Amino acid sequence: MTDKTVSLPEERRHGSFIKNNLRNYGMLMSLIAIMLFFQVMTGGTLLQPLNLTNLVLQNSYIVIMALGMLLVIVTGHIDLSVGSVAGFVGAVAAVLMVTYKIDYTLAFIACLLLGAAIGAAQGYWVAFFGIPSFIVTLAGMLVFKGLALAVLQGQSLGPFPATFQKLSSGFIPELLPEAGTLHPTSMLIGAVLALGLVYASAKGRSREQSHGIEVEPYAFFLGKSVLLACAVLYFTYLIASHRGLPNVLVIMTALIALYGFVTRRTVIGRQVYAVGGNAKAAKLSGIKTERLTFLTFVNMGVLAALAGLVFAARLNTATPKAGLGFELDVIAACFIGGASAYGGVGRVGGAVVGAMIMGVMNNGMSILGIGIDYQQVIKGLVLLGAVCIDVYNQRR
Amino acid sequence: MTAMLEMRNVSKSFAGVQALRDVNFSVHAGQIHALVGENGAGKSTLMKVLSGVYPHGSYEGTIVFDGEERRFRDINDSEALGIIIIHQELALIPLMSIAENIFLSHPPSKLGVIDRDEVYRRTRELLAQVGLKESPDTLITDLGVGKQQLVEIAKALSKRVRMLILDEPTASLNEADSAALLERLMAFREQGIGSILISHKLNEVAKVADHITVLRDGRTVDSIDCRAEPIQEDRIIRSMVNRDMAHRFPERSVKIGEPVLDVANWSVYHPIHPERQVIKNVNFGVRRGEVVGIAGLMGAGRTEFAMSLFGRSWGTNISGSIRLEGRDMVLPSVAAAIDAGLAYVTEDRKQLGLILADDVRKNITLASLDQVAPKRVIDDIAELKIASDYRTRMRIRCSDVYQETGQLSGGNQQKVVLSKWLMTDPKVLILDEPTRGIDVGAKYEIYCIINELAEAGRGVVVISSEMPELLGICDRICVMNDGAFVGEFKGADATQEKIMRAIMRNERNIGNAAPAAAEMGGMQP
């Protein structure tokens, strides 16, 4: 058979690109549609700078954990304990900082290490003992929920040192003279980011072209880049006109970029997907499958700890109920974002979009005054619907 | 005599691709009708039309059974008439007993309670009919593939089969089990059951078929009445591939060099039953440029031997020495084995060889990511180029290297697996059943690749249950039985009879004659 990739007629190439991109960006478009819907329904409240900033703050810990959960799900496992772990780590952080007055940097690092140790303890049973992750982390969920209660002795503990609170409630410092309500430093960072993204994708495209690889049609590339840049600029404009970029948004963005890179471009990322796709074949290809599975759980533990710290800093107290039910939102975010429950499939971008869909719906429905009861019903149906669409798409 | 089944002018297309064009096909009662053709020729599609998987209306043409036109809506409609299909992948539930499997859908019952006595009585009857001496209580997982196949047939008989369709029934069976199965088919012929046999193994087809239909590209290209004319394998192959294949095995110039792999005193124990020695202190060697075959029955320990060499991926308590190019090696892990220059192409490419959901490119580079990832970051352009090179070199037929491997045909999947292992630049390649479930044309290409590998100075080990294949491509054939090598022949001297005799003599010597004889069925000399 001959090479089919060369010289398709122009319209067909456009057609197939639209089709492919629709599949890849389907969830992103759903997010945009959902945002528009709530923007209209709430009479413009959703995208007000204040509300948007809150939206980011409220969902940061879900996004952070979704990054770790995605890897766990891609290896074909699940982690039900993340909510309890986040709550437990927040409680330990409060005890260290409030009760024992330990320096917040030291306490912060200690908490992340504690998260790693918890992840390692659970990952050990899953990876090297072959106990189903569902069971191990179900046990972990109970254990750490209980330990959080024990550590806090059933009480709330706070307040945290002011600097630690900045982790969640702080904004990046303003270095430039203020221009009305707009924060120029934030705006500048947004502009640099937008330009950087466009530059990087243009460079990648020309690199591929110079190697004779078929690339997307120029019109699409241009349109996509302009849209992306505009979206980033508009978003930063909104955020910058309230109090500037929140610290946690910076952390989140850096993590998303890091995990996106690791999953798409590194050997370890590729191997994680291989383990999830077919563990036996991966093993016979020289991949240390057990070790990788173990490491994804360690990674999950660290991110759950970070999320716990962010959440505690945001509330400014550690409560025994912190982290309750987080795991459900995190897991839902990954599946809405297109991860496969059988492993081997899932994208960082998808999980982030999934988390944002959940966040926007929570926020929008609250503004509309829909009760917590029906909010859950709707979220459940959205999860089912999203996965149904995904399964349907894959069957075609 | 009128035909029991007649399929007239059947055409079927999928999204613009014509899978069947005006196929005419008929089977008489008490006839074994073989359906042959390359993978993708339309055999399975035709059988799915017949069994109602593709319901009436989704194809053109008519199906006449017992003189009446039939319009099957689903597989239940065809089963009700006694048309039973046994798929290549067996549909048995491993942790249930033989009896439970046979009467899975319609167990004899009284008031909704399963009548166990009746189930057992009828199961015993059915097992006797297929010649299987097992208790109805035996779990499927405890049976070998050959016996599982017989249970499937017993299950078909329980449904009062009149037309039995077997899709590659002997693909995973050894010679003895295959022979036993074919004998059953001939017994059914006497009882007036019509059989449709889909097979790639032409010697079997020649042995049992009354009529042969050859499909190519969805058309009937040849129809041979075996009673009227002698069967010529060459003619069948010619019709299947539409090209004259003077030789089924490619020629090559043999240049054998220094020893590259030397295994001495190798011993392996069973991972679950550690007291059982599976590989019994064997010695084995390959030279550069040499193709060595390992023959043997299913369960002889060939795969276990190969996998234990390959980074101890099978077995426990492994001892013995491995020398590669004269240097002693310790290979505790697959990664170490790959680094040392070993490659093992597994017998089960779907379960153990490929990541089916991943594309061709990712599968090819999986075992040697370091080559495309300086500093652990993948250079996607270098990766794409290497994958595209292999695609051209190995003639992998795919739309591009981004196509999912799960969508490729068996032969092309095997080429992807071979590419993966070639990329590791091995000194010795062990190929376990490299042509299983692959059509004749693709087989020839795989043989050519094996020759190229040997000519490039690599040592090649081929494990195969198809003896003609070993005889056709190997310079030397070692015969394994019961975990030990029991014979060795130069390629030119070896014959199927000599190999079988070596196995049989060993079976008798180890005092294992009783179970062995049962397994050998009709093959006992």
| Phi/psi at B81 (5° precision) | -90, 0
Residues of B in contact with A282 (CB under 8 A): 355, 366
Closest-CA distance of chain B to residue A347, Å? 14
Closest-CA distance of chain A to residue B177, Å? 28
pLDDT, one tens digit per residue, over B452-487 is 999 999 999 999 987 888 988 999 999 998 899 999
Kindly give the pairing relationship between strand B459-463 and strand B291-295.
parallel
CB nearest to A267's CB, from B337, B369, B397: B369
Residues of B in contact with A5 (CB under 8 A): 399-400
Rounded mean pLDDT of chain A? Answer: 89
Place of tokens 């009662």: B29
Residues of A in contact with B384 (CB under 8 A): 211, 213
Retrieve residue B475's tokens: 């310079």
Domain A43-170+268-395 architecture:
Orthogonal Bundle (1.10)
Residue A14 predicted with pLDDT over 60: no
pLDDT at A37: 93
Indicate the angle between helix axes B513-520 and B496-509, nearest 10 degrees: 150
| Phi/psi at B61 (5° precision) | 105, 175
Q: Return the number of CB contacts < 8 Å for A and B.
A: 85
Alpha-carbon span B201 to B339, nearest angstrom: 37
Closest-CA distance of chain B to residue A197, Å? 19
Residue B337 burial (CB count, 10 A): 26
Q: By mean pLDDT, which of A23-37, A56-70, A77-91 is the weakest?
A: A23-37
Alpha-carbon span A351 to A260, nearest angstrom: 11
Q: Do B366 and A270 touch (CB under 8 A)?
A: yes
DSSP string, B186-236: HHHHHTT-EEEEE-S-HHHHHHH-SEEEEEETTEEEEEEETTTS---HHHH
Whether residue B525 lies inside any domain: the answer is no
Whether residue B521 lies inside any domain: the answer is no
Alpha-carbon span A246 to A317, nearest angstrom: 19
Nearest to residue B482, comparing CAs of B517, B506, B505?
Answer: B506
Closest-CA distance of chain A to residue B330, Å? 15
Residue A296, SS3 per DSSP: helix
Q: Which domain holds residue B94?
A: 3-240
CB nearest to A288's CB, from B335, B362, B376: B335
pLDDT, average across residues A287-305? 96
pLDDT, one tens digit per residue, over A325-341 is 899 999 999 999 888 88
pLDDT at B241: 67
Residue A54 DSSP symbol: H
Residue B99's CATH number: 3.40.50.300
Answer with the one of B394, B425, B456 that is the final residue of a domain: B425
Which residues, other chains included, contact B439 with Cβ-Cβ below 8 Å and sequence gap of 6+?
B37, B38, B39, B40, B41, B200, B240, B409, B410, B411
Residues of A in contact with B378 (CB under 8 A): 265-267, 270
Whether residue B523 lies inside any domain: the answer is no
Alpha-carbon span B450 to B106, nearest angstrom: 49
Alpha-carbon span A146 to A51, nearest angstrom: 34
pLDDT, one tens digit per residue, over B123-159 is 999 998 888 888 999 998 888 777 888 898 888 888 8
CB nearest to A286's CB, from B338, B346, B381: B338
pLDDT, one tens digit per residue, over A97-156 is 999 999 999 999 999 999 999 999 999 999 999 999 999 999 999 999 999 999 999 999
B282-293: burial string, b at 16+ Cβ within 10 Å, e else: bebbbbbbbbbb
Residue B216 predicted with pLDDT over 70: yes
Q: Do B310 and A278 touch (CB under 8 A)?
A: no
pLDDT at B518: 38
Q: Are residues B190 and B229 located together in one domain of the fold?
A: yes
Alpha-carbon span B242 to B221, nearest angstrom: 9
Type of residue at B151: V
Q: Do A5 and B370 touch (CB under 8 A)?
A: no
Q: For chain A, how big is the Rg over CA atoms in Å?
A: 22
Alpha-carbon span A348 to A353, nearest angstrom: 9
Residues of A in contact with B369 (CB under 8 A): 267, 270-271
Residues of A in contact with B352 (CB under 8 A): 278, 280-281, 284
Alpha-carbon span A87 to A108, nearest angstrom: 14
Best interface-test mutation with A: which of B38, B349, B358, B365 has the largest number of A CBs within 10 A?
B358
Best interface-test mutation with A: which of B307, B334, B354 has the largest number of A CBs within 10 A?
B334
Q: Do B370 and A267 touch (CB under 8 A)?
A: yes
Q: Are residues B307 and B365 located together in one domain of the fold?
A: no
Residue A273 predicted with pLDDT over 80: yes
Retrieve residue B125's tokens: 């009857």
Alpha-carbon span B387 to B398, nearest angstrom: 12
Q: Are residues B214 and B295 located together in one domain of the fold?
A: no
CB nearest to A270's CB, from B313, B346, B378: B378
Residue A82 predicted with pLDDT over 90: yes
pLDDT, one tens digit per residue, over B262-321 is 999 999 998 888 888 999 999 999 999 999 999 987 778 899 999 999 999 998 999 999
CB nearest to A267's CB, from B344, B351, B373: B373
Alpha-carbon span B14 to A395, nearest angstrom: 15
Whether residue B23 lies inside any domain: the answer is yes
Q: Give the pLDDT band of residue A392 (cuts 50, 70, 90).
A: confident
| Phi/psi at B7 (5° precision) | -110, 120
Q: Do B333 and A286 touch (CB under 8 A)?
A: yes
pLDDT at B361: 94
Closest-CA distance of chain B to residue A48, Å? 41
Type of residue at B222: D
Residue B254, SS3 per DSSP: coil
Residue A266 vs residues A192, B40, B59, B130, B379: alpha-carbon distances, Å: 26, 37, 48, 55, 9
Q: Are residues B313 and B197 located together in one domain of the fold?
A: no
Residues of A in contact with B420 (CB under 8 A): 285
Residue B525 predicted with pLDDT over 50: no
pLDDT at B521: 37
pLDDT at A319: 93
CB nearest to B381's CB, from A1, A207, A284: A207
pLDDT, average across residues B2-20? 83
B131-169: burial string, b at 16+ Cβ within 10 Å, e else: bbebebebebeebeebbbbbbbbbbbbbeebbbbbbbbb
Residues of B in contact with A268 (CB under 8 A): 376
Closest-CA distance of chain A to residue B424, Å? 10
Spell out which chain B residues touch chain A, with contact meaning CB-CB distance below 8 angstroms.
310-311, 313, 333-335, 337-338, 344, 346, 351-358, 362, 366-367, 369-370, 373, 376-378, 380-381, 384-385, 397, 399-400, 420
pLDDT at B324: 93
pLDDT at A61: 93
Nearest CA in chain B to A266: B377
| Phi/psi at B167 (5° precision) | -95, 105
Best interface-test mutation with B: which of A285, A342, A390, A393 has the largest number of B CBs within 10 A?
A285
Residues of A in contact with B393 (CB under 8 A): none
Residue B491 predicted with pLDDT over 90: no
CB nearest to A286's CB, from B356, B367, B384: B367
Q: Are residues B38 and B120 located together in one domain of the fold?
A: yes
Residues of A in contact with B358 (CB under 8 A): 273-274, 277, 344
Q: Do B367 and A270 touch (CB under 8 A)?
A: no
Whether residue B518 lies inside any domain: the answer is no
pLDDT, average across residues B491-496? 84
Q: Give the pLDDT band of residue B519 (cuts 50, 70, 90).
A: very low
- CA torsion sign for A14, A16, A20, A25 is positive
Whether residue B160 lies inside any domain: the answer is yes
Residue A9 predicted with pLDDT over 50: no
Query: Is the pLDDT higher at B493 or at A84?
Result: A84
pLDDT at B234: 76
Task: Give me the interface pTM, i.e. the ipTM.
Answer: 0.85
pLDDT, average across residues B70-97? 87
Q: Are residues B151 and B212 located together in one domain of the fold?
A: yes
What CA dihedral angle connects B494, B498, B500 and B504, to 10 degrees?
Answer: -140
pLDDT at B223: 87
CB nearest to A211's CB, from B351, B366, B381: B381
Burial classification of residue A109, based on how many CB atoms lie within 10 Å of its CB (0-12 exposed, 13-18 middle, 19 or more buried): exposed
What stretch of H or E contains B266?
A: strand B259-269
Within 13 Å, how many C-alpha atoms sit on residue A6's CB side?
3
Whether residue B524 lies inside any domain: the answer is no
Q: Are residues B258 and B119 located together in one domain of the fold?
A: no
Nearest to residue B427, comparing CAs of B308, B366, B338?
Answer: B338
Q: Do B334 and A284 touch (CB under 8 A)?
A: yes
pLDDT at B110: 82
Residue B273 DSSP symbol: S
Q: Give the pLDDT band of residue A7 (cuts 50, 70, 90).
A: very low
Kindly give the pairing relationship between strand B211-216 and strand B219-225.
antiparallel
Question: How far, rounded to the nearest angstrom, does the alpha carbon of residue A339 sit from its chain's CA centroid?
Answer: 13
pLDDT at A2: 38
Q: Are residues B134 and B152 located together in one domain of the fold?
A: yes
Q: For chain B, how big is the Rg over CA atoms in Å?
A: 24
Question: How many domains is chain B partitioned into structurally?
Answer: 3
Q: Do A1 and B337 touch (CB under 8 A)?
A: no
Alpha-carbon span B129 to B161, nearest angstrom: 13
| Contact call for residues A110 and A309 (beta carbons, < 8 A) | no
Nearest CA in chain B to A267: B376
Closest-CA distance of chain A to residue B69, Å? 32
Answer with the one of B240, B260, B280 that is the final residue of a domain: B240
Q: Does the predicted TM-score (pTM) go above 0.90?
A: no
pLDDT at A161: 93
Alpha-carbon span A82 to B364, nearest angstrom: 36
Alpha-carbon span B144 to B158, nearest angstrom: 21
pLDDT at B512: 43
Q: By mean pLDDT, which of A26-30, A64-68, B205-209, B443-447 is the weakest?
A: A26-30
Residue B228 predicted with pLDDT over 50: yes
Whether residue B48 lies inside any domain: the answer is yes
pLDDT at A19: 61
Strand order in the sheet with B342-345: B342-345, B428-432, B459-463, B291-295, B476-481, B484-490
Residue A189 vs residues A195, A232, A296, B273: alpha-carbon distances, Å: 10, 10, 32, 64
pLDDT at B327: 92
For B60-168, list the strands marked E by DSSP: 60-65, 68-70, 83-86, 109-110, 113-114, 163-167
Q: Are residues B417 and B295 located together in one domain of the fold?
A: no
Q: Do A286 and B334 touch (CB under 8 A)?
A: yes
pLDDT, average across residues A34-44? 92
pLDDT at A177: 78
Residues of A in contact with B355 (CB under 8 A): 274, 277-278, 281-282, 344
Q: Are residues B332 and B381 located together in one domain of the fold?
A: no
Spell out which chain A residues touch chain B, with contact meaning CB-CB distance below 8 angstroms.
1, 4-5, 207-208, 211, 213, 265-268, 270-271, 273-274, 277-278, 280-288, 344-345
Indicate the angle between helix axes A267-277 and A49-74, nearest 10 degrees: 60
Closest-CA distance of chain B to residue A233, Å? 30
Q: Are residues B201 and B271 located together in one domain of the fold?
A: no
Nearest to residue A141, comparing CAs of A79, A74, A64, A94?
Answer: A79
Q: Do A284 and B310 touch (CB under 8 A)?
A: yes
Q: Are residues B29 and B168 located together in one domain of the fold?
A: yes
Q: Give the pLDDT band of residue A287 (cuts 50, 70, 90).
A: very high
Alpha-carbon span B236 to B202, nearest angstrom: 8
